Amino acid sequence: MSRKVRVTTLFVVLAVATVAVSLFSAGTGQFGIPIGDVAASLAHRAGLGPGITDPFAEGTLWQVRFPRVVLALLVGAVLGVSGALMQGVFGNPLAEPAVVGVSSGAAVGASLSIVSGATFLGAFTTPALGFTGGLVTTLGVYALARSRGRSEVVTLILTGVAVNAVASAVISFTLFAGDQAAREQIVFWQLGSLSSARWPYVVTLLPFAVAGIAVAVTLARRLDLLALGERPARHLGVNVEALRLTAIVAVALMVSAAVSYSGIIGFVGLIVPHAVRMLTGPGHRVLIPASLLAGALLLSAADLAARTLFDYADLPLGILTALVGGPFFFWLLLRTRRRSGGWA
């Protein structure tokens, strides 16, 4: 099978599977709704059909199910694209957004909000502080890693490790200082969940996701050149420092906005781009949009499992992604060592 056919097939399969999982997820729950009714309700809102006659089903779909489905698609797409960007910038398939402290920074902001009981933005207070924490931490990592106007990959990684350690200590302190209700809320936030999804959250996240993904697409060609090495990329006209800064800022904005509503969801940014790269090759003009679809599909499927594996319970998403991502990461580490650090 030629690469063009393989890539086309992959995009078709991912797109069809994402739509199918989304429709099934919207209809599945304690109150089951047939997929035909889900599709009919969507068609009615688009002005293409009469819709469904059950007002309770209609309300369930548009007030509860669809916001959660759309938020899962957005968060998964953001994490997939961000992982592809980070792996391209760092030149390492083991890189992910958490490397630069965005998730731990968001967790610090959210934890401080929960412990302090701040409500100055109403229901948006914790997401807003989580977003601010993730953005400030990531930019802080980049600023600390700069030396003589440049940032080195190894320095960025080591700085990120140090900042993540400090953020972990701050989170531990908030767990110690908070009351029982605050501790439970912080722990649940750190495990990741989409149970609080609402349309205002979707609307707030959407512009950050669209802007970040658009930036990622525009960086694709330069990331391909960077894969040749920093020196060859500079000779080919790539401003490596500007490329690195642009990619890190895009990741910071996207992921900070995403995790401020979903909590920390690990491994998606790691396993999705690497799995896609194994099928499509390293070219970012294919890798980035394919990672978008694959991330959306993976998180939608994980959220569906989280809602349905146990009756009357909502399993944290971070548990499911860790159960899949942990063994995959271990396998990836061994495989990378055997290949002496080469790309898959």
What pLDDT is stored for residue 224 in this prediction?
Answer: 92
Encoded tokens for 119 = 């409500």
Residue 45 lies in a domain: no
Q: Which three-class secondary structure string do you get for 206-275?
A: HHHHHHHHHHHHHCHHHHHHHCCCHHHHHHCCCCHHHHHHHHHHHHHHHHHHHHHHHCCCCCHHHHHHHH
Q: Indicate which CATH number applies to the domain containing 305.
A: 1.10.3470.10
**Would you give the distance in Å from CA 212 to the centre of its chain?**
12
Range of the domain at 325: 3-29+65-338
Residue 321, burial from CB neighbour count under 10 angstroms (0-12, 13-18, 19+): buried
- If one counts the domains in the chain, the total is 1
Q: Please enumerate, as own/partner, the contacts of 86-89 that have beta carbons within 8 Å and a separation of 24 or more.
A: 86/247, 86/251, 86/269, 87/273, 87/274, 87/277, 88/219, 88/223, 88/226, 88/227, 88/247, 88/284, 88/287, 89/153, 89/223, 89/226, 89/243, 89/244, 89/247, 89/248
Is residue 43, in this structure, part of any structural domain at all?
no
- Can you point out the beta strands (E) in 105-154? 146-147, 150-151
CA dihedral defined by 285, 331, 141, 84, rounded to 10 degrees? Answer: 10
Residue 44 lies in a domain: no
Rounded CA-CA distance 310/269 in Å is: 26
Determine, yes or no, domain membership for 49.
Answer: no
* Sign of the alpha-carbon dihedral angle for 239, 282, 221, 287: negative
Is 40 within the bounds of a domain? no
| Rounded distance between C-alpha atoms, residue 71 and residue 302, angstroms | 13
Is 73 within a domain? yes
Q: Is 341 left (phi over 0), alpha (psi -120 to 50) or beta?
A: left
Q: Can you give the pLDDT at residue 44? A: 85
Q: Is residue 197 part of a domain?
A: yes
Please check whether residue 343 is in contact with residue 289, taking contact to mean a CB–CB distance below 8 angstroms: no
Under-50 pLDDT residues of the chain: 341-344
> Quick check: is 37 in a domain?
no
Pairing of strands 146-147, 150-151: antiparallel
Neighbours of 26 (CB within 10 A): 25
The whole-number pLDDT of residue 336 equals 65
How much is the pLDDT for 326?
Answer: 79
Q: CB-based contacts of 36: which residues, under 8 Å, 6+ apart?
A: none
| Closest residue by Cα to residue 283 from 87, 60, 108 | 87
Instruction: Please write the tens of the pLDDT for every residue from 71-129.
Output: 999 999 999 999 999 999 888 777 788 888 888 898 899 999 989 888 788 878 888 99
